[in-house]
Structure 1
Amino acid sequence: MCRLKKCGGAAKTLLVLAVGLVLVAQPALGAPRKSVKQKLQEDPELSQFYLLLEQNVLANFTLNFHKATFFAPTNEAFQRFKGPVDDKLILYHIASGVSQTLDKLSDTVTTSYDGSPPLWVTRLQKGNTNKKELFINNAKVLEKRSNFQGVNSQNSPQVLHVIDEVLVPLTSVSTDTSVDNPDAAGFLAQSESVQLGSHRVRSFRQRVNQNQKEAVFKAGGGNTFFIPVDEGFKPPPRPEKIDMKVIDGHVIPGRVLFIRPTPTGEEFDTLAFTDNIRVQVSFSTQPDDKSHRAYVSSNTVVGDTSHPTGVVMAEIVHANIPVKNGVVHLIHRPLMVVDTTVTQFLQSFKGIVSEKEDGPLNKLYEVIMDHGGEFMTQITNMKSLTLFAPSNAAWANANLNNILQTKDKVKEILRMHLVAEKLPLETILSENIIQVESAAARKNLYFNVIRHGHNETLTVEGGGVNATVVQPNIAATNGIVHIIDRVLGIPYSTVGEKLATDPALNKTFWLAQSERFNEQLNNPHKRFTFFVPRDAAWEKAELHYPSTHKKLFMRDFQYHAKSILERHLIVDQAFTMAELKDLFQRNESAVPHTVRDVLHIKVKEIDKTEAETGEAGYYIEWQGERILVSRPDVECTNGIIHVIDSALLRDTDVYVTGGVRGLGPVMSVLTLLLAATLAF
């Protein structure tokens, strides 16, 4: 401890420095806070918004003298905006009379635009965290740049929030008149007077009036309304199918759902969700060449004679139209109405039945028509079918480029996506359907259900490709369409990658990790034939050889797994089951060489007439056991997998040479040394 006389000068110096730091870190008491106006002037990325504020008399007056909350789109947002930018537009971005930080925002914010229309606030849960993303109508709030608080020249508090899209109010066709904040019913009544581009909604309005359902569109609170445009009422007699229940199926009560903040695939109850009929809707998006197209799908879970079950999909042609009691989305055809064949559904997005140029399956349609259209003729003539239709994104796979140049191969691939019976998702799940025959000769489709809690996702495999059903149960008068995320029949993964991703082959993949066995399976310069036991095969082995199975799946003894799997693997040749069958028919003594040894098997095919017991299909016979090949010819980029129902396993395959792995050879050497020593 220093004495005061000796350290007094140093103490005073430190005190002065400390006070100086405090003064630097904090503004002087009574110093004016920066205003929102100053903040806008200093931020170059908000210059377009500030310019519009200055140009509008009311907006400029509010900025300088009133309490207010401002929602400022970035310059980039204005550059993306394709609509007209007039000086009135800025008023839809101002809430006068309130200064609210994000946590104080209610579900609606009244704006300064003509008629005081509201802005709708959505709080979207961010993943599994407690954080939430905020949206104003369809615009996302940039939270790190928001919540700026300041006062203007009149000492009125103001708050500035930054958003990533321009907010678009309902505007009049004529610049001389304004739209006085109508509800959805008023929107229908005044539709010819508002900016809707080339779209008209007279037909739907007429059906609403004839069925006396105006009250549905006048309902207070926040709702979501889907209104089909006139082009979607072709061909007749579709208009007559728009009855009271169908109209109810176009309204989601109590939820204001703009496109961006609405989770894809989440189902919402409509007004047509009652005791007698149950209809839900969900949103989805599909990428096209420039951006993403938005779609809405109605799912009639419980129907009646006039309203069949299934999904009807419609493109949202004009989204996010704000009204007094929610939001309106214009769609290209009515929901719930099942009045087209599968062929017409494919055509309805391609300018044949409607005026749409693109759709969720336009790439599939182009492939069909580019290769002669025989496939289209085939499905047109079928009275009952299921089409597993690859989405537009599925066709972007580079592996398809060469295949698409071969007409016969494309025809076979298309037929692999077709089943000659109606298979809605519920039927596949309830009847536990594992496989079905496709329209391609000797090509089956295999189903698997992945469960996450209460959610069930269907996957379908064909020709070695495992695809996920991303939109099930699109209903047609003669069948069902399931949209999938990959093109079947065109392999895109190696043998190793297929083993790692197939949910039915988890146990074999786990064993294949020992001794780095699976690394070779990704070699693109090799060709493999791999007889892969499915998970159920190992469960069967556990019953027959409990001790062997137990050791095999223990880490300490897993070195045996490599030699057992080598018995299942043929290297440098990729045999289909038909080729193996033909090989044995030509030469009964022919035996393929696996990595481990000579595989003494026989191949037999049993058709439906012969299969009195068991299943039809390919079998291999090994050591007196007949083993079903439950999934033959799973094609990969470097070989073929045959999924089998039993492992090629003997009870003597796993043995213990010592208490610890690796001690067997060591003990043998020690024994020899001991014997030599004793002999000496």
Structure 2
Amino acid sequence: MFCVLQFYSLLENSAIANNTLQYRQVTLFAPTNRAFQKYKGSKDDLILYHMTNLAKPLDQLDGSVSSELEGNPPIWITRIKGRYRDDLYANNAQILQDRSNYIQMNHQQKQQVLHVIDKVLVPVRSANKDTTQIYNPDAFHFLNQSENLDVGDHRLRSFRQRVYQNNKGNVFLSEGKHTFFIPVDEGFKPTPRPEKIDQKVIDGHVIPNHALFTDATPKDKDYETLAFGDNVRVTISFSTQSNGKASSYYVKSNTIVGDPNHTEGVVLAEIVKANIPVRNGVVHLINRPLMVVDTTVKQFLEDQEDGPLHEFYNKIQDEGGEFMQQITKLRDLTLFAPSNLAWTTANIVNVHNRDKLREILNLHLVYERLTVEKIRDENVNQLFQVQTAAERRKLYFNVIKHGHNVTLTVEGGGVNATVIEPNIAATNGFVHIIDRVLGLPYTSVKEKLQSDPMLNNTYHLGQQGNFNEELGDSTKRFTYFVPRDYAWHKAEIHFPSAHKKLFMKDYGYHVRQILERHLVVSDQPYTMADLKRLANDTVTLPTVRDHLKLRIKESDKSYYVEWQGEWIHVFRPDVECTNGIIHVIDSVFLKESDVRVTRSPSVPLMATHVTIILSVAMLFSVKWLLL
């Protein structure tokens, strides 16, 4: 068992542990050497918290086991069902099953079991040896005696005072296994915030009947809190946020149903000290109270100096202040805020122009309150779109369902992002954290066609004759008028025969001709604003095959192009790509005469003549027989 030598060294130096091994049943949870290298805390009496006085093989581990440390504090066991094998955790340490379940008998014929774990188990400890020692406290005694416990620099007086004033101590005394979230004193600013911590909010900090440790808990799974009833319904879920180098743990309360004193929406809090085991469950210290919505969007961003949006906040500061002034004045807004990881993309790092940066930031701002639920409701019968603070720039939403899981995506400026943290509530709106920065493309024209569910038919047709492969050329600049799937459905109604033939493999030549009509190749891509400036009357654009003559007009904040006498709505203009621009249109540049075939394309002309000759010969043969 070379991987646990540091644990073995501690074991050898503990007289109590050696005596237990000699005479009693034992289960040992042995951290790996790597686990001890990462552990920076005290090792005093640590060995006894990794021992129990009963032998428990893997198949018998469930609920909790009592440790041999003074007071016998529990080690909480989490079993996560797997398809082939369950994952097992002791507190927040995963049991490495391939190196566990080592069973043997001691000299007293007592069974002993060894399990190897990937983290050191850390019990609740007194702050120093000179104070009264506290062993195996429940959550209430932990809260009450926090000044005498080793919780780092954190203080819990403000929350404790609210618990006393609201007579909610019984919540933290409750027997069983529960998860308790306790906000630290630093999170009780601004001043009015403590008054908002009422009985219902305190209940919203407790998940009953589950001892949830950070690594052993599924991310984004909602757990009902004590504040989940008929009038108010609050859930809590865990999540992680990465800045590209390290990850931080967060919890979010979601007030699904509120009342006049409890605003609906999500409150996000960082876990500043996690996984503190207590007699009736586990405690997590968080940087601010849950459920309390008392900051504006601006204040929320300012609070994210080291949080999941600090890179976004830094970009707002780089912009010079106009964007922050804008959101400060708004009474109703929604901000789609890119995560820290989203800003690490190379082409984003190189944006230093303030005007360009302001345009990008404006693309993330909407002048109304939009919850995910509202977006889903608006998206039922048609693709929901909304104007942004960027001139003539809209956001387009798509709801993707996989069984019970629902994912919301948002596209802006050619970038498709996924909402990863929805409905963070502020007093003047909502913040949704997304996984990409809108307005700075990262896909080619080909890749955009391939990934956009609205453009499936055009992409499918372009697969014929390798037309799509040309759209990945990074040395060219394309302006592509791409019919969305709705446009091809219209074409099927107006030109059923031509439409049917286009989607047959044997008509690749005609498909290519039609698609080339939609594709402009020039020194630069053209936005719709560029085309409108160029077109005093009609603009002629060099397509791959010939020329495309269009007229452009703008009406009711939308663009239209006229082709062959038909005014066609530009459903999504200016979808930027790394090698061009896509304009998504509502009709196909298609004429009935584009596909005219008098014979089956799969039958060669000579074969057709042979068939006719044979048919005539058979006719004469039948006539001869009748005579």
If the length of structure 1 is used for normalisation, what is the TM-score?
Answer: 0.86
Aligned residue among 129, 146, 149 for 1:175? 129
Does 1:103 find its partner at 2:53?
no
Which residue number in structure 1 is paired with residue 619 of structure 2? Answer: none
Change (3 A) 1:635 1:93: same
State how 1:178-577 maps to structure 2 within 5 Å. 178-288=133-243, 290-350=245-305, 358-403=306-351, 405-432=352-379, 434-557=384-507, 560-572=510-522, 573-577=524-528
Q: In 1, Cα distance between the equivalents of 2:40 and 2:245?
A: 14
**Aligned-residue RMSD, C-alpha:** 2.1
Change (3 A) 1:408 1:253: same
Q: In 2, Cα distance between the equivalents of 1:532 and 1:592?
A: 15
State how 1:600-611 maps to structure 2 within 5 Å. 600-606=549-555, 608=556
Does 1:157 find its partner at 2:104?
no
- Which amino acid in 2 is paired with 1:412? E
Which residue number in structure 1 is paired with residue 48 of structure 2? Answer: 91
Change (3 A) 1:106 1:640: same
- Which amino acid in 2 is paired with 1:155? Q
Which residue number in structure 1 is paired with residue 621 of structure 2? Answer: none
Q: In 2, Cα distance between the equivalents of 1:72 and 1:359?
A: 34
- Which amino acid in 2 is paired with 1:591? T
Q: Secondary structure at the match of 2:471?
A: helix
Alpha carbons 2:267, 2:291 under 8 Å: kept: yes
Change (3 A) 1:289 1:665: same
Q: In 2, Cα distance between the equivalents of 1:533 and 1:469?
A: 27
- Shift in Å at residue 670 of structure 1? 8.4
Aligned residue among 593, 615, 618 for 2:542? 593
Which residue number in structure 1 is paired with residue 95 of structure 2? Answer: 141
Alpha carbons 2:92, 2:275 under 8 Å: kept: yes
Q: Secondary structure at the match of 1:515?
A: helix
Does 1:166 find its partner at 2:120?
yes
- Shift in Å at residue 493 of structure 1? 0.8
Alpha carbons 1:114, 1:179 under 8 Å: kept: no
Aligned residue among 115, 119, 129 for 2:71? 115
Q: Secondary structure at the match of 2:548?
A: coil
Q: In 1, Cα distance between the equivalents of 2:359 and 2:40?
A: 44
- Which amino acid in 1 is paired with 2:429? G
- Shift in Å at residue 290 of structure 1? 4.3
Q: In 2, Cα distance between the equivalents of 1:147 and 1:249?
A: 39
- Which amino acid in 2 is paired with 1:326? G
- Write out per-residue CA displacement over residues 51-76 of structure 1, whole angstroms, 9 at most, x where no aligned residue: 01111111122223321111111000
Q: In 1, Cα distance between the equivalents of 2:525 and 2:243?
A: 37
Which residue number in structure 1 is paired with residue 586 of structure 2? Answer: 645
- Shift in Å at residue 589 of structure 1? 4.8
Alpha carbons 1:537, 1:644 under 8 Å: kept: yes
- Shift in Å at residue 667 of structure 1? 4.7
Q: In 2, Cα distance between the equivalents of 1:130 and 1:61?
A: 38
Identical-pair percentage: 59
- Write out per-residue CA displacement over residues 226-262 of structure 1, whole angstroms, 9 at most, x where no aligned residue: 1101111111111010001101111111111110121
The farther-off stretch of 642-651 and 472-481 is 642-651
- Write out per-residue CA displacement over residues 285-336 of structure 1, whole angstroms, 9 at most, x where no aligned residue: 1113642111111111110111011111111100111111111110000001
Q: Secondary structure at the match of 2:350?
A: helix
- Write out per-residue CA displacement over residues 551-579 of structure 1, whole angstroms, 9 at most, x where no aligned residue: 33344545543332222111234111111
Aligned residue among 565, 568, 585 for 1:627? 568
- Which amino acid in 1 is paired with 2:73? P
- Which amino acid in 1 is paired with 2:374? T
Q: In 1, Cα distance between the equivalents of 2:265 and 2:86?
A: 34
Aligned residue among 532, 535, 538 for 1:584? 535
Which residue number in structure 2 is paired with residue 24 of structure 1? Answer: none
Q: In 1, Cα distance between the equivalents of 2:205 and 2:472?
A: 50
- Which amino acid in 2 is paired with 1:457? T
Alpha carbons 2:244, 2:341 under 8 Å: kept: no
Aligned residue among 529, 553, 559 for 1:618? 559
- Shift in Å at residue 178 of structure 1? 3.3
Q: Secondary structure at the match of 1:591?
A: strand
- Write out per-residue CA displacement over residues 82-138 of structure 1, whole angstroms, 9 at most, x where no aligned residue: 22222x111111111x21211111211111111111111112244xx3432111111
The farther-off stretch of 60-69 and 379-388 is 60-69
Instruction: Give the count of matched residue pairs.
Output: 609
Q: Secondary structure at the match of 1:263?
A: coil
Q: In 2, Cα distance between the equivalents of 1:666 and 1:253?
A: 81
Alpha carbons 1:551, 1:558 under 8 Å: kept: no
Q: Secondary structure at the match of 2:453?
A: coil
Change (3 A) 1:548 1:303: same
Change (3 A) 1:561 1:100: farther
- Shift in Å at residue 277 of structure 1? 0.7
If the length of structure 2 is used for normalisation, what is the TM-score?
Answer: 0.93
Q: In 2, Cα distance between the equivalents of 1:666 and 1:107?
A: 81
